[in-house]
Amino acid sequence: MRPPSVDALARSIEGTELPQPLLVDAAREAIAAGDPTSAAERAHAIERALLRPVINGTGVLLHTNLGRAPLAVPASPARYSNLELDLVTGKRGSRHGHAASLLARAAGAEAALVVNNGAAAVLLVLAALATGRDVAVSRGELVEIGGGFRVPEVLAQSGARLVEVGTTNRTRAADYDDANRTGALALILKVHQSNYRIVGFTETAEVGSLTAIGPPVVVDLGSGLLDAATPWLAGGPPDWLAGEPAARQTLAAGAAIVTFSGDKLLGGPQAGVIAGRADLVAACARHPLARALRPGALVLDALQSTALAYLRRDGAAIPFWRMATIQTDELRRRAEALWAQAGPDVGARVVECESVPGAGSTPGMVIPSAGIAIDGDHTQVLRAFDPPLIARVRDACTVVDLRTVESGDDPLVAKAVATLTASA
């Protein structure tokens, strides 16, 4: 039997909003596979692979696979912005004068610079301040971050030379001092062990003890906590933040530069922030890599909104902090309401959960939560819902943790759970 024409098959595909070229791709694949009837299914597969909103029911607040920190993106008409225009003089301005200056103010830094992610921030600092020179790093801080990127490799790409000091579990200020005996160190780099912990017979050199050695102390905080006092939260710092280093306190202790991510505990878009001494930040801004690593207007706009919320001390305006600080009793009440809507039909039950900050932030710390659980693994069915509901499997049960679900999405969660009856 002669196969249908590609164009005719593409025109026959319904139930998708894909543009015609992608429908043609799906039709060609189906014909090439000898199964023209699979064209619609292939088109839907293409559609599902596109970026789209999802409901995060995993309990991981900063879920790397789901874009880390959730962002509230307001609808606005199409318009330009004064990204690089000085509205007072009418002359060319700098994209570093908006979000970066606000973040500097919020972190207690002289100046700040924004790049496109946390690894880029470290790379730029090393390239601008230590190319061809020695940088001391504790052996216990030569970490590997997500995606297989390792601190020694980032250092090598910057052109700086790694000088390992101390041991895996114990590094003292004297170890850095010994490495600088000839005055060869350009920088002392401390890297936050954000995605693991070393416990037991351990010792680490505090920032204050390193400042007297001579070279500027650069601290990669990773997670991006602005201030350990969390003045944007009415109840003060939550217990799960205990021991997490913060930008303001690290700079106050004597660090010349701190670097951190924008989409972790800061709760903003993917970005990297360099904050600290004005002369060192300016040197980073002048480096040729700064242009290659700079973010665009959308990122800077979102970061500016986030920084303004911090300066207003309005943690509720930052989705991450709003979710992270919801009382467990409120989550339990929502879980019971969901169960009443959809739970009895699928054998669901209200359960206690343990959420986590995620993205390598505060490893080992959990946040009490609540949600619903259904026996068996139903994650594939829930992912096929529109919008997809991403859940997790625990003890042979599918669990939807409500800490990472906006309350306005509860009706959608109920509908998604109700689909399990039909699929069963």
Per-residue pLDDT tens digits for 35-74? 999 999 999 999 989 999 999 999 999 999 999 999 876 6
Structure confidence at residue 79 (pLDDT): 83
pLDDT at 187 over 80: yes
Give the CB-side neighbour count of residue 306, counting CA atoms within 13 A.
Answer: 35
Higher-confidence residue of 4 and 349: namely: 349
Place of tokens 């920084």: 307
pTM: 0.92
- The tens digit of pLDDT for each residue in 220-249 reads 998 889 999 999 999 899 999 988 999 999
- The C-alpha atoms of residue 230 and residue 234 are separated, in whole angstroms, by 8
CATH class of the region 55-69+323-423: alpha beta
Q: What CA–CA distances, in Å, run from 231 to 225, 282, 304, 308? A: 12, 29, 18, 13
- The C-alpha atoms of residue 147 and residue 370 are separated, in whole angstroms, by 31
- The C-alpha atoms of residue 339 and residue 43 are separated, in whole angstroms, by 35
Structure confidence at residue 38 (pLDDT): 93
- The C-alpha atoms of residue 323 and residue 1 are separated, in whole angstroms, by 58
Structure confidence at residue 243 (pLDDT): 85
Mean pLDDT for the stretch of residues 114-130: 95
Mean pLDDT for the stretch of residues 324-346: 91
Amino acid at 101: S
Burial of 312 (0-12, 13-18, 19+ CB in 10 A): exposed
Name the phi and psi angles at 106, rounded to 5. -70, -30
Name the pLDDT band for 159 (thresholds 50, 70, 90).
very high
* DSSP string across 132-146: TSEEEEEGGG--B-G
> If we measure between CA atoms, which residue out of 217, 153, 162 comes closest to residue 189?
217
Mean pLDDT for the stretch of residues 2-27: 88
Structure confidence at residue 341 (pLDDT): 87
pLDDT at 423 over 60: no
Domain ranges in the chain are 55-69+323-423, 95-317
Give the residues across from 162 on adjacent strands.
135
Structure confidence at residue 364 (pLDDT): 79
* Pick among 3.40.190.10, 3.40.50.11890, 3.40.50.1220, 3.40.640.10: CATH of 95-317: 3.40.640.10
Q: Which two tokens stand for residue 415?
A: 């509908």
Same CATH topology for 55-69+323-423 and 95-317? no
